[in-house]
Structure 1
């Protein structure tokens, strides 16, 4: 991580990180779409065990990096909830 000397540098680094994050989020979304098409039962779209598994893994990664675990958990819970809702939409469209 770069040590920034001013807000211009901070913003440049945030923009650089965002350019790395966005493609990964879009790739993740493609897998969510695939899941919505693969699952045969709408009741399996929300899988609480899997939610907790993903959150636990994300928190573990944050902990291994000495990062803010609460920050990562909050982001992942929001990301997962959004993903589940999107997957419901895909499932409904695929299985009408």
Structure 2
């Protein structure tokens, strides 16, 4: 098994792509964990109308943007990604709520 190099140590695109692929697998695993919390929320919330919480959505996106800014990442792009992530999470949670 090959070892993925830190980005700063990569000297070929094969090494870069191996690192990106490893991170993508880790990100998907983290998303699985995140969506597990959506399953829990669907189980806990007393009514379907409680699934969409615009104030909480704004808080989550703002927190992601702030974290991105603190890490020197493009804040607007991260905000757009989190908008998509939160909307997908809401849709997933609604479907989970409807299944219960």
Residue from 47, 50, 62 that aligns with 1:44: 50
In 2, Cα distance between equivalents of 1:52 and 1:6: 40
Q: What's the offset of the Cα at 1:7?
A: 1.7
Residue from 19, 23, 38 that aligns with 2:25: 19
Please, what is the CA RMSD of the aligned residues?
1.2
Q: Which runs of 5+ in 1 are unaligned?
A: none
What number of residue pairs does the alignment pair up?
94
The residue that corresponds to 1:33 in the other structure is 39
How does the TM-score come out when normalised to structure 1?
Answer: 0.90
Q: What's the offset of the Cα at 1:80?
A: 0.6
* Structure 1 consecutive aligned stretches of length 4 or more whose deviation exceeds 3 Å: none
Q: Which runs of 5+ in 2 are unaligned?
A: 1-5
